[in-house]
Amino acid sequence: MQVGGASETVTVEAAPIRVQTDTGEVSNVITDLQVSQLAVNGRSIYQLAALAPGASSQITGFVNTPVGGNASVEFNGMRQNHNIYLLDGGEDDDRGGAGGMSIAPSTDAIAEFRQLTSNYSADYGLSSAGTMTMVLKSGTSTLHASAWEFNRNDAFDAKNPFTPAQELRLNVFGFNVAGPVTFGKLYNPDKKKTFFFYNMEWRKLIQGGSTNQAVPFGATYGGDFTGFLPADKLDKNKIAIPNSGLHVPCAFQLSPAQQSLFTSAGDVFSTPVNTASGPSCSADSSQPNNVNPLVATTQPIFQPLNGNKVPFVDANAAALLAAGIFPKPTVGNQFRGGNNSPTNLKEEIVRIDHNFTPKFSVFGHFVAEQVTQTFGTSQWSGDNLPTVGDTFGNPSRSGVIHTTYAISPTLLNEAAFNYNGNVINIVPFAGSGLTGLALPAGYVSTNSRLFSGPNNLSRIPNIDLGGSTGAKFEISSWPWHNKADDYQIRDDISLTKGAHQFKFGASWAIYKKVQDLFGQTQGAFNFDGTYTGNDFADLLLGDAQSYGELAVQDHGYWNNVSWAAYVQDNWRVNRRLTLNLGLRWDGVPHTYEANNRMGNFYPSLYNPANAATFDSNNTICSGPSDPGCTAASPGLGTSPNSILAGRQLYLNGIGIPGQNGVPKGLVNNHWAAFGPRLGFAYDLTGSGKTVVRGGFGIMYERIQGNDMYNAGPNIPFSLNVGLNSVTLDNPSIAVATGTAAPQPINPASITGLAVNGYKLPVSYQYSVGVQHALSTRTVLSVSYVGNQSRHQNDYREINLPNESYLPQLIAGANYNTAPGLPYAGFHSIDLANNEANAHYNGLQVDLNSQVGHDLNLRAFYTLSRAIDPTTAGSGGGDLGNVSNPYAGWVYDVGPSGYDRTHVAAVDFIYDIPLLRHSQSRLVRSSFGGWQVSGIVTIESGLPLNIGLTGGQGNNHLPNGTNRPDLTGKVSYPKSVNQWFDTTAFAAPAQGAWGALGHNALRGPGRDNWNLSLFKSFTFSESRGSRFELRLETFNTWNHTQFNAISTNLGDSKFGQVTSDFDPRILQLGGKIYF
């Protein structure tokens, strides 16, 4: 047996289907034919990635874009962040970009697309989920060229019942040319030495706004909430729900000045209940429910607002509303519509292959993409309103040089250098109805922020209505910039010795990123109804439940170095048994900041003897002049950042890399990442028709670095402050007191890393199955695939007050001085942990067939269950907070956000033989040459995680998420207005955690057909020149496919369907081949 030579250029064609007798890996290959002919929506690489057993996706994108595109594909229950993409063997991975690519190559440039999904060989690593390998096309000895254009227009599309008709324009056009590099007899006359491939493509999309969001309306802008009287809301017994109207805040929640304004308006304060932890407005059976006396007092007791009107409107709130931060409703209290969102992409690809000798060859590619995407709402934030959007500029580059040298007939060496890099520039813009991004006329900016550092563009603060309205205006961290460069070197040696095919290799890489910090120097307010029962009314009063602000939006210089080494032996034990034996080592020390400008909280460095002391305004004592202070608090220090020079910071427990034993990556590195790979393929009969295949592998996950980037704003180099119960006019002022220290030392919020047990995430993967050749061109595979994942990432809040005090926090008590806080002097301490467990079990059936010479057919079905406690996104990402930090991640054990019980899919390409073999060339050209292709997907729904609005939504913890109690049997009417029975849930007691499980309900499934009809007109049969006309349809039968469901109890749309997938879309295309 000999290794392959190095003298020929690789060309990929549709290979015969055969049983895999040489490997136990779980993988799938999508050929050049399938890539070019299947009806892939948006011609998207991510859509291709989802065409595999075990895949679960929620892709809605129209166009093939890299960073910022929809990369939501999970394999075998693994998080999408743990996917990796390779282009010609080099990384094509945007680290920190949710498992997406940095380059999204044109599908017309792809020769082969392969998904490796479980227990694959040891030469692949650094990721624990799907590994997608893409091979670019290369030139051959014959000159070939093609050109194409695809168009969409909303005039040809079906209408969406959830949003008004939106503008849609999509144009994808380009060309490629490939062949030998030759200059007659002067160079390469036999056309066997040098080859080239060049591809250029433009992708242009204009898409109308699709916002569908409740917003404030009508008279409420002036404080008149008569539309919110208690009788508006009825429970399942048709009795008015307590407190569904607005109420007067508890007196102890307000400053004397605000109490006076309420009293002057004729409002009456209720008598608070005295509890062991202080005054409360909690239910007291001895008092009537003044909001609704018909209902037993099981809810907080409040007095109704006089006339259901707020007594005053804060001046800054009025200025923001006049500037148009919230759009006016278009249907009822809903806004539907938004900004157009254009996307423009230009991509150039060049690949050169050169054979120096029959033994030595080299190929290289260079890819340049320029992407500009416009988002109608502010991306990477909670913003859900088109009054602010942003432009996302993303130039990217990829380069590969790969050499192959056949040292002998049995020994081959491959060496490669790979580069991958991109830049991101995000610039915000004022959208629908907003007068500008800057603070508007009438807004009093004096003391409106905690810090005097730069507020780029003088931006309006984030304003979130976190209660029943749910509207969020967030400019977020923009403008924002980052730059990433990834350099990789690897060498691989292949040796054939008898029945063994050995492969050895090693690699080194350095990833360098310069990135602005995330954070709001303009400030971020949240109003959730804590004071009046209505989030918008609280905004009008200027009384915020919480506030956050970043002192300095600096930038960091982060590096990550990785090493790897492996050995693989594919051993043909006998003609019926093959073993795949491998071992891989991944050396992946943690990302670090090159200048050690990082801070992290370490419990071991916190000295309780230096716990912070507070003044009467609940800020840290800066000296005896502060009210209630006799001296400055212990634990104070200053920042080495000149921008914060002179500002006192509470630094008890803070560690800096290189000091006090703190490593440069903030956590200790784990070097014992050895991953065995074991596989087998056993031919049951010796005929090659039935093979039992299986394997086991341990895959380690390289931590992408977001945990470090998120820690960038920490003290002492920056400062991220979170406060509760503050005023809009001056967030230094507490609502309850109306006073603040002149230069308050506010407790900092920390987003950091937990130093104990910060191990590499790891997945133990296994599979066993049978492949059987039903015929010479049809193979059926039935497999069990499973995994156990350990040390999965989550975030957990560790600075927690006594749990019994949560009702007081909900009533507006100050968090920083709450009893039981273990680290007094800090607000939130939210630490990343690699602690959670996840697992997956699935039955995967795959039928692959070539029926005659006309039909290529593939059908697969997956029956599976994925368990993952992550709360990040739809379950596909890291960095999600545990919901109940008192209980930890076990409170969130439940189905993964991407768990689909059933997924069935069929893809096919059918060359209709009608008149194809007519003796008349005219008949063949005019009436023959028809082709049909399609992708059919039928799948069950994703889980729904039910939450709560208002103060109970997080029990007023900085990083918590509550769930309701289940009070009845869950049923599914599956209507637009009630997907599930909303009467089966109730809010838990004040300060309690709901008993409903994580991801306990199910959303809508999908039944989607994408079909295409092609007609080819042949110009030259000998040269293969032809013109191909295409009609492509997506959601061909125009099935209404529900998508998003409102899942927060207390939201005005709870249980309702709020959006659907796209209706039928038509696409016209043409391709010409030479």
Q: What whole-number distance in Å separates Cα of residue 898 and Cα of residue 868?
A: 9
CB-side neighbour CA atoms (13 Å) of 525? 29
Q: How confident is the model at residue 187 (pLDDT cuts 50, 70, 90)?
A: very high
Place 142 in a pLDDT band, splitting at 50, 70 and 90. Answer: very high
CA dist 179 and 349 (Å) reads 14
Q: What is the pLDDT of residue 9?
A: 39
Can you give the pLDDT at residue 997?
95
Torsion angles phi and psi, residue 640, rounded to 5: -75, -5
Asked if 30 and 130 sit in the same domain, the reply is yes
User: Is residue 215 in some structural domain?
Assistant: no
Place of tokens 């040319």: 177
Record the tokens describing residue 763, joined without a space: 């997945």
Instruction: Record the tokens describing residue 824, joined without a space.
Output: 């007094």
Confidence check: pLDDT of 473 > 70: yes
Cβ atoms of 520 and 381 within 8 Å: the answer is no
Which residue from 235, 253, 252 is spatially nearest to 244, judged by alpha carbons? 235
843's CB contacts (< 8 A; 6+ apart) are 782, 783, 784, 862, 863, 864
Instruction: Say which residue the tokens 């070539």 belong to.
Output: 850
Q: Domain check: are 128 and 228 in the same one?
A: no
HEC profile of 25-65:
CEEEEEEHHHHHHCCCHHHCHHHHHCCCCCEEECCCCCCCC
Assess if residue 626 is contained within a domain.
no
Q: Please tell me the predicted confidence (pLDDT) of residue 315.
A: 95
Span 573-626, pLDDT tens digits: 999 999 999 999 999 999 999 999 999 999 999 999 999 999 988 899 999 999
Task: Give the model's pLDDT for residue 252.
Answer: 85
**pTM of the complete model:** 0.89
The first and second tokens of residue 809, run together, are: 């926090």
H or E segment to which residue 926 belongs: helix 921-927
**Does 786 fall in a domain?**
no
CB 887 within 8 Å of CB 880: no
Tell me the CA distances in angstroms from 551 to 557, 934, 1023, one per residue in order: 19, 54, 66
Q: What is the mean pLDDT of the chain?
A: 89
Cα 696 from chain centroid (whole Å): 29
Cβ pair 400, 394 in contact under 8 A: no
Rounded percentage of the chain residues whose pLDDT exceeds 70: 93
The pLDDT of 775-797, averaged and rounded, is 95
* 430 assigned to some structural domain: no
Tokens for 666? Answer: 């903030």
The bridge status of strand 947-948 relative to strand 1048-1049 is parallel
Q: Are 208 and 170 in contact (CB under 8 A)?
A: no
**Mean pLDDT of the 661-679 span:** 95
Q: What average pLDDT does the segment 720-733 reach?
A: 90
Q: Tokens 């509550």 identify what position?
A: 962
Look at residues 462, 539, 489 and name the one whose alpha carbon lies nearest to residue 722: 462
User: In this structure, are residues 601 and 653 in contact, taking their beta carbons and an 8 Å threshold?
Assistant: yes
CATH number for the domain including 88? Answer: 2.170.130.10
Mean pLDDT of 111-118: 95
Average pLDDT over residues 806-826: 92
Domain termination site, one of 105, 136, 167: 136
Phi, psi values for residue 608, rounded to 5°: -55, -25
Angle, alpha carbons 606-608-614 (nearest 5°): 105
Q: How far apart are CA 46 and CA 1070, in angstroms?
A: 23
Q: At 87, list the tokens.
A: 């282009």
Q: For residue 298, give Cα distances in angstroms to 34, 212, 280, 301, 991.
A: 62, 34, 14, 9, 14
* Band of residue 276 on the pLDDT scale cut at 50, 70, 90: low
Structure confidence at residue 11 as a pLDDT band (50, 70, 90): very low
What does the angle CA 449 – CA 452 – CA 454 come to, to the nearest 5 degrees? Answer: 100
Q: What is the pLDDT of residue 228?
A: 63
Give the list of residues 6+ apart from residue 495 with CB closer than 8 angstroms, or none: 3, 410, 411, 412, 501, 502, 503, 504
pLDDT at 689 over 80: yes
- Contact yes or no for 233/242 (Cβ under 8 A): no
What total of structural domains would you count in the chain? 2
Q: Which of 222-226, 230-234, 917-921 has the lowest mean pLDDT?
A: 230-234
Dist CA 916 CA 913 (whole Å): 5
SS (HEC) of 648-662 = EEECCCEECCCCCCC
pLDDT classification of 100: cutoffs 50, 70, 90? confident
Instruction: Characterise 487 by phi-psi region: left (phi > 0), alpha (psi -120 to 50), beta (else).
Output: beta
* Positive or negative torsion for Cα 818, 822, 824, 826: negative
> What confidence tier does 873 reach under pLDDT thresholds 50, 70, 90?
low
Taking alpha carbons only, the member of 585, 407, 569, 412 closest to residue 493 is 412
Angle at 664 between CA 660 and CA 666, to 5 degrees: 75
Q: Is residue 995 a part of any domain in this protein?
A: no
Beta strand 592-593 pairing with 334-337:
unpaired
Please give the span between the terminal C-alpha atoms of the chain, in angstroms, as a whole number: 39
777 is written with which tokens?
A: 């061109």
- Residues composing the chain: 1074
Element (H, E) at 119: none
CA–CA distance, 832 with 524 (Å, rounded to integer): 23
734/321 Cα distance (integer angstroms): 23
Give the pLDDT band (50/70/90) at residue 296: very low
Q: Which residue has the higher pLDDT, 159 or 782?
A: 782
Which range (173-177, 327-331, 911-915, 956-960) has the least confidence?
A: 911-915
Question: If DSSP states are collapsed to H, E and C, what string results for 183-248?
Answer: CCCCCCCCCCCEEEEEEEEEEEEEECCCEEEECCCHHHHHCECHHHCHHHCECCCCCECCCCCCEC
Q: With 0-12 CB in 10 A as exposed, 13-18 as middle and 19+ as buried, what is 682? A: middle
Task: Report yes or no on 988 lying in a domain.
Answer: no
pLDDT at 239 over 90: no
* The predicted structure's pLDDT at residue 294: 36
Among 209-223, 699-713, 891-905, which is the least confidently predicted range? Answer: 209-223
DSSP category for residue 459: B
Pairing of strands 555-572, 500-516: antiparallel
Give the range of the structural domain holding residue 262, as residue numbers without chain letter. Answer: 224-312
User: Would you say residue 77 lies in a domain?
Assistant: yes
Amino acid identity, residue 266? G
Helix or strand holding residue 747 (H, E): none
What does the pLDDT read at residue 6?
42
Quote the distance between the C-alpha of residue 623 and its chain's center: 45
Residue 34: phi and psi, rounded to 5, are: -65, -40
Asked whether residue 925 carries a pLDDT value surpassing 90, the answer given is: no
| Cα 211 from Cα 160, distance rounded (Å) | 13
**Phi then psi dihedrals of residue 666, to 5 deg:** 70, -25
**How many angstroms separate the CA atoms of 297 and 286, rounded?**
9
Beta strands in 394-535 (DSSP E): 396-408, 411-430, 462-465, 472-473, 480-497, 500-516, 524-527
Burial class (CB in 10 A: 0-12, 13-18, 19+), 446: exposed
Of 312, 332, 363, the residue that ends a domain is 312
Residue 962, judged by CB atoms within 10 A of its CB (0-12, 13-18, 19+), counts as: buried
Inter-residue contact 740 to 559 (CB < 8 Å): no
Whether residue 751 lies inside any domain: the answer is: no
